[in-house]
Structure 1
Amino acid sequence: MSGQVWAHVGQPFESAHYDLVVVGAGRMGAALARSLRELAPHCSLLLAEEGGLPNEEGATILAPGVWHADVPPGQSARAEETRALLGDALNVCGLLDLSTEAREGFPSVAEVWTPELAALIDPGVLPFARPDRRAGTYSAGSVTLADANAAIASGADLMLNVRAELCGTGVDGLAADGVAHVRLHRLSVTNMHEVIVAQSVMVTAGRLIVAAGAAGPSLVEAGLGLVTPHRTAYRQTPRLEVGSTPSSPVLRHAGLLLRPRDGGYTVVPPIPHPDPWGYVPTGGRLVGVPVGLRRETLDALLDRMDGLSALAGEGLVPGRSIADIPGAWIALPDGGWPLWQRLGAAHWLLLGGEHADLTGLSVARELAVGLAG
């Protein structure tokens, strides 16, 4: 029997109790909800999302969606499980890891050279390339939506357009009745396009999991008074208008990815240093012209233009204002890799971050197994 979906405040909702409440319907929260419904179908579950749809905005919809096997030994089992969980969603197109110097496993780029690469790479600067033929791309947004739909179809409830506030009372955030409390602020929009809180309801939960991405640690700190070591960063992903096909390989050089998408490429720079609390994205300058790119993004592109020659051409679309450049806050879990953390008697934190493409689904499944048991 399918669960219920509350999309707007016109649908009445009263205070309720759930065995499980998952805050955040991005890729980690939706994957967790799906696994929980599979492993613990007897438990009632509410998935709460601040946006209008699972994956609608933020880091999930802008995620690169690139899987490859180049992970530390301690993460290899999780990476393989994530690849298996992706199933048919993974488009196996391969990945070329480019290098300026000869290294073990890096043959000459001439061995994999194609006319398509000639428009992207200067082989005089990047003469070596290590292929990963099992690597591929996928839409993190589509996977997230499929996971959320599967959870709902198997009985999970979903509430959209709702902002969660953790209510920490008593020992380990528990009230006298021994359950976790979360106040759900249901959002609406006025005729002046202002977002307002139209209703607030209290929900109790036997177990409450915060999977709100970059906002997760601050929710935990504000609601439960627990300070975690996790941080955040703001990443932008410009567009490169150079022709690609679904079979074009992902290119990687010094941490920067060129991910084939929609007939061109998405440029995914390495994560800059963690941003201070309160940062507001502003534009940078490229050869004296104001653009919507942050300085860290510009630096990452400039440092790699010699080898990835397409970045220095007319195909790079930096935009004319900050609104033209897709960008989102992402979590930086302590240690760098997706993780779950128990916070107390009834609270857990689940984070994906920059490596969620590689191991996120496995980590969400791992937490679901623990909660279901």
Structure 2
Amino acid sequence: MSGQVWAHVGQPFGGSSSSPAHYDLLIVGAGRMGAALARFLREEAPHLSLLLAEEGGLPNEEGATLLAPGVWHARVPPEQGARAEETRTLLEGRLNACGLLELRPDSAGGFRPITDLWTPEVEGLIDPAELPFARLDRRAATYSAGSLALDCAQAASRAGADLMLNVRAELCGSGETGMAQVRLHRLSVTNLHEIVVAQTVQVTAGRLVVAAGALGPHLAEVGLGAVTKHNMAYRQTPRLEVPSTPTSPLLQSGGLLLRPRDGGYTVVPPIPHPDPWGYVPTGGRLVGVPTGLRRETLAALLEVMDGLPALATGALVLGRSLADIPGCWVALPQGGWPLYERLDERHWLLLGGEHADLTGLAVARELARELAE
């Protein structure tokens, strides 16, 4: 039996301060991690009632899931190997095999001359004089993280989970009954395109998981007083208008990744450091001209332009302002890899972050099994 879906405030939802609605499990955030957790919970514990609450739509257009690189590869630390392989198995049928070509200026670590691995697709992208050595991961593949989140949420709903969209969660700790309490502020849009709270409903839950991406730790701190060591950063993914095909290999130099997408490339720069809370991203300047690329993104591109000369051409979309370049806040879990942690008896925090592509599904399933016990 399918669950109930509330997409707008015109659909009544029971739950007042005097008589709150109750669920065994409540997940705040229906990005890739939250949606996957909901799907696995319906598989592991179908007898438990479940509500999945999301501030936006599916997938959220402002969230990191939609702009996630969607890349799986085997270049993970040994301690993450089992999770990576499990995630690949869970992604079966979604992967577009293309291979990952790692580039470097020397042969350390078993890298071979790039001439041994040269393909027509990389012509004009790589300067072999600057990056003469390479290593190929043939198992590497791409997929859509946004489609994955949508499918997981829909699968959870078909299996009986309730889903509420366009709702902002406010955590209220545990009440006298010992249950997790949350206020769900249902959002609407005025004629002036302002987002307003149209209704507030009360919900209690036996257990609550915060899976709100980069804002998750802040949400837990404000609502529960739970101070964590996790961080966040704003990452941009500019476009490189150089022709690619679905089988063009991924290219990686240093921490920068070129992902073939929609006939061109998405440039995925490394995240150099966490951004302080309250930081407002702004564009930078290139040879004195304002661009939409923030300074850290420009620095990452300048570092590899000699080896990837296409980045130094007009094919790179610079934009005039930050709004011209796709970007989003990304969670930075302590330790760098997807994880979950128990905040108190009733609340958990689930984070994916920049490596959610590689091990996120396995971590979400681990938490589902723990909650189902």
Same topology, TM > 0.5: yes
Query: 2:32 aligns to what?
Result: 27
Q: Give the whole-Å Cα distance in 2 for the aligned partners of 1:186 and 1:269.
A: 35
**Superposition pairs of residues 1-373 of structure 1, within 5 angstroms:** 1-15=1-15, 16-168=21-173, 174-373=174-373
Q: Give the whole-Å Cα distance in 1 for the aligned partners of 2:13 and 2:238.
A: 41
Q: Give the whole-Å Cα distance in 2 for the aligned partners of 1:148 and 1:287.
A: 46
Partner SS, residue 103 of structure 1: coil
TM-score (norm 1): 0.98
Query: 1:171 aligns to what?
Result: none
Q: Give the whole-Å Cα distance in 1 for the aligned partners of 2:251 and 2:356.
A: 19
**C-alpha offsets along residues 303-330 of structure 1, whole Å, 9 cap, x if unaligned?**
1000011101121011121111000001
Structure 1 residue 55: Cα displacement: 3.9
Structure 1 residue 175: Cα displacement: 1.4
Moved over 4 A (4+): none
Q: Give the whole-Å Cα distance in 1 for the aligned partners of 2:134 and 2:341.
A: 38
Q: Give the whole-Å Cα distance in 1 for the aligned partners of 2:267 and 2:30.
A: 25
Structure 1 residue runs without a partner (length 5+): 169-173
Asked if the contact 2:59–2:66 (Cα under 8 Å) also holds between the matched residues in 1, the reply is no
Give the counterpart letter for 1:116 in structure 2. Answer: E
Structure 1 residue 23: Cα displacement: 0.2
Q: Give the whole-Å Cα distance in 1 for the aligned partners of 2:253 and 2:362.
A: 26
**C-alpha offsets along residues 262-320 of structure 1, whole Å, 9 cap, x if unaligned?**
00000000012111111111111112211111000000000100001110112101112
Asked if the contact 1:9–1:187 (Cα under 8 Å) also holds between the matched residues in 2, the reply is yes
Asked if the contact 1:30–1:54 (Cα under 8 Å) also holds between the matched residues in 2, the reply is no
Q: Give the whole-Å Cα distance in 1 for the aligned partners of 2:365 and 2:96.
A: 22
Partner SS, residue 123 of structure 1: coil
Structure 1 residue 54: Cα displacement: 3.0
Structure 1 residue 114: Cα displacement: 1.8
Asked if the contact 1:55–1:144 (Cα under 8 Å) also holds between the matched residues in 2, the reply is no
Give the counterpart letter for 2:292 in structure 1. Answer: G
Structure 2 residue runs without a partner (length 5+): 16-20
Number of corresponding residues: 368
Asked if the contact 2:58–2:149 (Cα under 8 Å) also holds between the matched residues in 1, the reply is no
Give the counterpart letter for 1:289 in structure 2. Answer: V
**C-alpha offsets along residues 88-140 of structure 1, whole Å, 9 cap, x if unaligned?**
11111100010110123211100111222121000000000100000010000
Partner SS, residue 88 of structure 1: coil
Give the counterpart letter for 1:213 in structure 2. Answer: G
Q: Give the whole-Å Cα distance in 1 for the aligned partners of 2:211 and 2:286.
A: 36
TM-score (norm 2): 0.98
Identity of paired residues, percent?
75
Asked if the contact 1:244–1:265 (Cα under 8 Å) also holds between the matched residues in 2, the reply is yes
Partner SS, residue 265 of structure 1: strand
Q: Give the whole-Å Cα distance in 1 for the aligned partners of 2:331 and 2:360.
A: 12
